[in-house]
Chains A and B, each alone.
Chain A
Amino acid sequence: MALFAAFQTSLLLALLSLRAYQSEVLAEPLPLTPESLNVSIDSAHQYLNLQWSVHSLAYYQELKMLFQIQISRMKTSNVIWVGNYSTVVKRDPVLHWSWKSELPLECATHFVRMRSRVDDAKIPEPRFWSNWSSWKEADAQKSLGRDPLFLFPKDKLVEEGSNVTICYISRNQQDNISCYLEGQQIHGEQLDSNVSAFKLNKVSFIRKTGTNIFCKVDQKDVIKGIVLFVSKVLEEPKDFSCETQDFKTLMCTWDPGTDTSLPKRSSQSYTLFESFSGKKILCEHKNSCNWQVDSDSQEMYNFTLMAENALGNRSVSVLFSLTHRVHPKTPYNLFLKNVSGTKATVTWKVHPIGNYSTLLCQLDLLGEGNVIQQHNVSIKENGEYLLSELEPDTEYMARVRCADANHFWKWSGSISQKFVTAEAAPSEALDVWRNVKSVSGHPTVTLFWKPLSKLHANGKILSYNVIVENLDRPSRLEVHSVPATANGTELTLDQYSYQIHVTALNSAGPSPASVIVVSGDPGNEEAEEERINGTEDGFSVSWKPQSRKAIGYVVEWCDHPQDLPCDLQWKNLSSNTTSTVISSGAFRPGVRYNFRIYEISTERMANLLEKKAGYLKELAPSDNPQVVVSNLTSHSFTLSWKDYSTDSQPGFIQGYYVYLRSKAEKECHPGFKKATLSDKSACCQHRIDNPEQKTFVMENLQPESVYEFLVTPYTSAGSGPVDTFTKVTTPDEYSHILIRIILPMIICVLLIMITCYLKSQWMKEKCYPDIPDPYKSNVLSLIKSKENPHLTIMNVSDCVPDAIEVIHKPEGSKIQFLGASKSLTETEFTKPAYLYLLPAEKNYSGPGPCICFENLTYNEAAADSGSCGHFPVTPQAPPSQPGPLTSPENLLKALEKNYMNSLGEIAAGEASVNYVSQLASQMSGDKDGLPTNPPEPVHCSEYKMQMAIPLGLASPPPAENSGLSSTTPLDQSEHYR
């Protein structure tokens, strides 16, 4: 018992002593000053790595401590950073901590010191800082070597938009150093005599291969450089979602954004972490990751996707229930069966999703790319649906996609199949119209129809059937088959009425017939034309019904009235319609459109009701009429342009403007007014308000003046071009008189000349014969009848011929004397022979050779008188020889005969006979002395053969007074050759 008490006492004492010791230890500050502080430089990452230890933790397994760290640059007093580092210190620990320097550590010496403090709740307050450790120096420059220039940091990798500080260290203070970035010099801050720093703010991405930054020492071959790698900013993954197609695999997808890869630096990596299961996988792809669903037990998933690269990371999370992320696979085996004209059955299959899942499938029916029908079908595995209300002969496409029927997440992919419904007979009658015209006396009907729309054709139209039925004479029906490509046909009929049925045919049958009745007698197809105005919407056409039996109306027009064919158009209207708007994309301003309104009778016959004409928009005429000038006088002329058609103009012609201008006249004529043309010139303008007046008389003009005129039509939109004037010059006042007189005169003269030329021989004989017969002279008769009926012709015997000169050329010339046996050459007639018809008063020595002249042109009764004296004459006969030539009449006859025969036998130019009149007319200048007795026909005027006759045979010379007093028709000085 005593032992037990002693043990208890000693135990209590021990506990008391332990308690006392503990109180003593905890009461004083713990001497936990950091020891063995070591500082090193990590140049690659620009980290200042600190390593130290804390001792005197003998009583504690671990203790939370706070370390305060000071970092100085260049010198210890230049503290650039102060911070605390809290950590749990275990027994005999070596602690590590790093500080990242913004300035490259190589460019400046750094100093580090620290102190500590217990920061553990186990240690009661107050807590005191330990003493500062000694300063530790981190100097990288010592190990740089002897190069004259260094540039840091090397191969720095930064994110776009961040700030970067670079620096250089120069060994020589005297060197002038310049630094460049992308060719641009950069300017920095000098840290000390050898070190300068450059701060680049918000650096931008330039290229993946990095940016060269270099510094060079001026006037030295020293260039040092570094490469700065700027990466794109790592983006947060976008559109991150996960889904399953089979409850076995979750496919997570996202948009990775910009690629941040650089040389030697791979692109960002992606890690998928699920928080409920705690699983984490590294994704193989940049934008997707597959997650295996282990069992059906996990319903909820919380995924975190982390993108990470060398510069940082970004993450995004999503929480979902697996059954709400079902994305079914694309359906398959889509087929169409039992396809008719209006119905078709669609079947398809889907991949099953579990045992209890139901899929909602959407069936779309598409026509021409548009969804026509849409049906939803709930299925497990096989789908089927009957499509109805389809159009015959139409291509459709059936499209199916499915989604989870319980929790819609996404539609599956679509499967589609095209199909074409069967054809059916056309459902509507053709819209038929006709045009009746007469060709060679036979009415010809041209039928037009509009092709059936695809909706009504129900298939490919193979042909059109035209059945013609004679209503007046029941006979066989005429059936015409028209190819499908045609939109009309032409029928030649006679004067009867016909009912025409037109149907369209496809492979399924004909369309309902379109019936139209045509009368062979077109009847009165005329109606007064009214004018209508077009608007932007078209032409508003209205009409007045004529009968109550009309079953409808048709408005007919041509889209291209100026072309052939004019593209006939028509519009059917119901019987209770009396107006409509005709619009067409073909309507153009300035084109006249003619509309005909027909009334369709109960017999389906069309009767012309009204005619309209109008322009969508009237335009000013573009051309002027061709004007003809007529009736040009010195004071007026007439303009006419009757060929100008007013119907084919770009507007309704309302009239014409006649412009007149003249330099001679300053004032306008009555009816004209002054106008100024576009070229500022003045002229006179006259307005014609009647479009059908196509002539105009310009009056009150000045003779011999130049006038310029122009005729231009005008419509409501304006007048035609006023550009080219036509000149007209008025003649002088007398020119027309001269023309009226001189022209006929010239014509007459010309006629006379032509007549004279044609009748020259006759004229010659009549007016100036070679040997004129004074007795037959018209002049004589004229004289006799008008002037002096007592005048008479001088008798030949009254004149005294004196000599005949016969010129004969000796060489080869022949002068044949009829009845003589010897020519003149043979008779040695080598010199001109002078036949002295009358002996000179002194030389005349009696009878000699005689020459007888025979003038064949004078063969009148004188030949019968027998008084012609034939007296031979010899060439040798001297001119003085007397003989029968004493009879002047005979002598003349003889001479003439000789002359004529000589002409007939002597070549021209070879010989000639000259009459040398030696008469000195005694009557010259004494007309009063003319004999008044008529010529005596008893004298011989017939000339016979030329011959030389002896003078003895010659008749005695006439009485001396017989010829001297007569008048001779020959001019005294005229020579005949």
Chain B
Amino acid sequence: MKVLAAGVVPLLLVLHWKHGAGSPIPITPVNATCATRHPCHSNLMNQIRNQLLQLNSSANALFILYYTAQGEPFPNNLDKLCSPNVTDFPPFHANGTEKARLVELYRIIAYLGASLGNITRDQKVLNPNALSLHSKLNATVDVMRGLLSNVLCRLCSKYHVAHVDVAYGPDTSGKDVFQKKKLGCQLLGKYKQVIAVVAQAF
């Protein structure tokens, strides 16, 4: 049973990374059993804080790299093209309990991870020579992956939460190129804004 439970979590994680796909996963009931494949780090919250700080410190540079690579009119019309009005972005309440904040953080990181995956995929096609942007996107996605694991570990080990409902952003694969650029820019603008609040909350 333990083996089965241990295999479910990574499987769900893999499902989370499917770009633009997936369905909300319900929160595990509090009394449900929760187990992780590897033991959680002893100083987990500190690691989460550091990862949030790391993301926060690089978010603005990533944003600048992105809109610069898209060409005009993006750099000179950030308010019109890159405004962080992402309607379905998961909410975050900084004054909630740690459990609630962790659950909201999990949703946000899951949403961002999927969206950044889409952006990375698109930019490799649309701007194949923007290597620094690709590198920054990959690094951010990597940190998010670790952060997501740590948050889940914390939720599981302390609050016995093994499953969290998550939602993902719109799939951009069918959009036209300009729209892809715009959606990516908006998402990164939102990311820059949200990650600052989240990092502050932890």
A binding-site residues for B, Cβ under 8 Å: 154-155, 180, 182-183, 208-210, 212, 214, 216, 221-227, 263-264
Q: Which of B79, B127, B176 is close to A226, meaning CB atoms less than 8 Å apart? A: B176
Q: Say yes or no: B176 contacts A227, CB within 8 Å.
A: yes
State A227–B122 Cα separation when bound (angstroms): 14
State A154–B72 Cα separation when bound (angstroms): 17
Q: Which of B81, B83, B126, B176 is close to A209, meaning CB atoms less than 8 Å apart? A: B126
Beyond A221-B80, A263-B125, whether A227 also contacts B73 by CB under 8 A is no
Extra inter-chain contacts (6) besides given A154-B177, A227-B177, CB under 8 Å: A212-B70, A216-B73, A221-B79, A223-B77, A225-B73, A227-B181
Beyond A212-B72, A263-B128, whether A155 also contacts B177 by CB under 8 A is yes
**What is the 8 Å Cβ interface bit string for chain B, positions 87-124, against chain A (1 contact, 0 not)?**
00000000000000000000000000000000000000
Q: Say yes or no: A216 contacts B77, CB within 8 Å.
A: yes
Closest to B69 in A: A209
Q: Which residues of B contact A263 (CB under 8 A)?
A: 125-126, 128, 177
Closest to A225 in B: B178
Q: Verify if B71 is at the interface (C-beta below 8 Å from A).
A: yes
Inter-chain contact total with CB atoms closer than 8 Å: 54
Q: Which residues of B contact A155 (CB under 8 A)?
A: 176-177
Q: Which residues of A contact B129 (CB under 8 A)?
A: 209
Q: Say yes or no: A227 contacts B178, CB within 8 Å.
A: yes
Q: Which residues of B contact A209 (CB under 8 A)?
A: 71, 126-129
- Can you list 25 A-B pairs with a CB-CB distance of less than 8 A? A154-B177, A154-B178, A155-B177, A208-B128, A209-B127, A209-B129, A210-B126, A212-B70, A212-B71, A212-B72, A212-B73, A214-B73, A214-B178, A216-B73, A216-B80, A222-B80, A223-B77, A223-B81, A225-B178, A226-B178, A227-B176, A227-B178, A227-B181, A263-B126, A264-B125
Q: Which residues of B contact A210 (CB under 8 A)?
A: 126, 177
B binding-site residues for A, Cβ under 8 Å: 70-74, 77, 79-81, 83, 125-129, 176-178, 181-182
Distance between A218 CB and nearest chain B CB, rounded to angstroms: 12
Closest to B76 in A: A183
Distance between B44 CB and nearest chain A CB, rounded to angstroms: 42
Q: Which of A180, A221, A264 is close to B73, meaning CB atoms less than 8 Å apart? A: A180
Distance between B173 CB and nearest chain A CB, rounded to angstroms: 11
Distance between A265 CB and nearest chain B CB, rounded to angstroms: 10
Task: Identify the interface centre among A210, A225, A263, A264: most chain B CB within 10 Å of its CB.
Answer: A225
Distance between A186 CB and nearest chain B CB, rounded to angstroms: 13
Beyond A155-B176, A214-B178, A216-B80, whether A223 also contacts B73 by CB under 8 A is yes
Q: Which residues of B contact A221 (CB under 8 A)?
A: 79-80, 83
State A431–B74 Cα separation when bound (angstroms): 84
Closest to B122 in A: A263
Q: Say yes or no: B178 contacts A182, CB within 8 Å.
A: no
Q: Which residues of A contact B176 (CB under 8 A)?
A: 154-155, 226-227
Q: Say yes or no: B80 contacts A223, CB within 8 Å.
A: yes
State A226–B80 Cα separation when bound (angstroms): 15
Distance between B93 CB and nearest chain A CB, rounded to angstroms: 28
Q: Which of B72, B74, B181 is close to A183, meaning CB atoms less than 8 Å apart? A: B72
Q: Which residues of A contact B81 (CB under 8 A)?
A: 223
Q: Which residues of A contact B128 (CB under 8 A)?
A: 208-209, 263
Q: Which residues of B contact A214 (CB under 8 A)?
A: 72-73, 178
State A24–B148 Cα separation when bound (angstroms): 84
State A216–B71 Cα separation when bound (angstroms): 16
Closest to A226 in B: B178
Q: Which residues of A contact B79 (CB under 8 A)?
A: 221
Q: Which residues of B contact A183 (CB under 8 A)?
A: 72
Distance between B91 CB and nearest chain A CB, rounded to angstroms: 24
State A216–B79 Cα separation when bound (angstroms): 13
Q: Which residues of B contact A227 (CB under 8 A)?
A: 176-178, 181
State A597–B189 Cα separation when bound (angstroms): 97
Distance between A327 CB and nearest chain B CB, rounded to angstroms: 38
State A154–B181 Cα separation when bound (angstroms): 13
Closest to B70 in A: A212
State A776–B195 Cα separation when bound (angstroms): 142
State A629–B125 Cα separation when bound (angstroms): 96
Q: Say yes or no: A212 contacts B125, CB within 8 Å.
A: no
Q: Which residues of B contact A222 (CB under 8 A)?
A: 80
Q: Which residues of A contact B125 (CB under 8 A)?
A: 263-264
State A216–B177 Cα separation when bound (angstroms): 17
State A264–B77 Cα separation when bound (angstroms): 26
Distance between A150 CB and nearest chain B CB, rounded to angstroms: 11
Closest to B130 in A: A209
State A214–B125 Cα separation when bound (angstroms): 21
Across the A-B interface, give the 4 residue pairs with the lowest CB-CB distance, nearest first.
A154-B176, A227-B177, A225-B178, A223-B80
Distance between B1 CB and nearest chain A CB, rounded to angstroms: 47
Distance between A67 CB and nearest chain B CB, rounded to angstroms: 34
Closest to B77 in A: A223
Q: Which residues of A contact B177 (CB under 8 A)?
A: 154-155, 210, 226-227, 263
State A747–B74 Cα separation when bound (angstroms): 111
State A208–B80 Cα separation when bound (angstroms): 25
Q: Which residues of B contact A182 (CB under 8 A)?
A: 72
Closest to B128 in A: A263
Distance between B128 CB and nearest chain A CB, rounded to angstroms: 7
State A817–B155 Cα separation when bound (angstroms): 149
Q: Which residues of B contact A180 (CB under 8 A)?
A: 72-73
Q: Say yes or no: B178 contacts A212, CB within 8 Å.
A: yes
Distance between A205 CB and nearest chain B CB, rounded to angstroms: 15
Q: Which residues of A contact B73 (CB under 8 A)?
A: 180, 212, 214, 216, 223, 225
Distance between A648 CB and nearest chain B CB, rounded to angstroms: 72
State A221–B78 Cα separation when bound (angstroms): 10
Distance between B100 CB and nearest chain A CB, rounded to angstroms: 34
Distance between A117 CB and nearest chain B CB, rounded to angstroms: 42
State A224–B177 Cα separation when bound (angstroms): 12
Q: Which residues of B contact A212 (CB under 8 A)?
A: 70-74, 178, 181
Distance between B74 CB and nearest chain A CB, rounded to angstroms: 8
Task: Identify the interface centre among B70, B129, B176: most chain A CB within 10 Å of its CB.
Answer: B176
Closest to B74 in A: A212
Closest to A212 in B: B71
State A214–B128 Cα separation when bound (angstroms): 22
State A216–B70 Cα separation when bound (angstroms): 17
State A515–B31 Cα separation when bound (angstroms): 121
